[in-house]
Amino acid sequence: MILSLLDYLFTIIHLLIIGANLLLWIWPKTRKLHLYIVGITLFCWLFLGIWYGIGYCPVTDWQWQIKSKLGETNLPNSFVKYHLDNITGLNIPGTTVDFITLGTFLVAIICSVKLNFFSNSAAAKQ
């Protein structure tokens, strides 16, 4: 029961992180927070990725440990792929999921940087 609750909690945490990475740049009050969150995500994906593999996510690692204890096997490297496959009933290629994940992440970062540093409202605040 505890492991199932932890699995559920990690799913919620994952969804919050993904939502924050993709959406917090939209609202002026959360734009700086967005920069911190994408910075942490990039740190994990790239810096920790030196040791654990590019795209490494400690939250996925922890959740997969729990899922393994719950008896799940053949877990993909990606939380997004895992849930897209479960939702669609398909086996979407991991590279396709990674490409879409990275692409949407980069679009969100570009929007955030533009709005935080290069928009008229950002210039007026400084």
Q: Which two tokens stand for residue 118?
A: 């290069």
CB 41 within 8 A of CB 51: no
Q: What is the CA angle 79-109-113, rounded to 5?
A: 160
Q: Which domain holds residue 52?
A: 2-125
- 3-class secondary structure, 95: helix
Q: What is the pLDDT, as a whole number, of residue 70? A: 97
State pLDDT tens for residues 70-122.
999 999 999 999 999 999 999 999 999 999 999 999 999 999 999 999 987 55
Statement: residue 124 has pLDDT above 60 = no
Radius of gyration of the chain (CA): 16
For 106, the 3-state DSSP assignment is helix
Q: Which residue has the tokens 């980069």?
A: 106
pTM: 0.90
Are 49 and 55 in contact, with CB atoms under 8 Å apart?
A: yes
Number of domains in the chain: 1
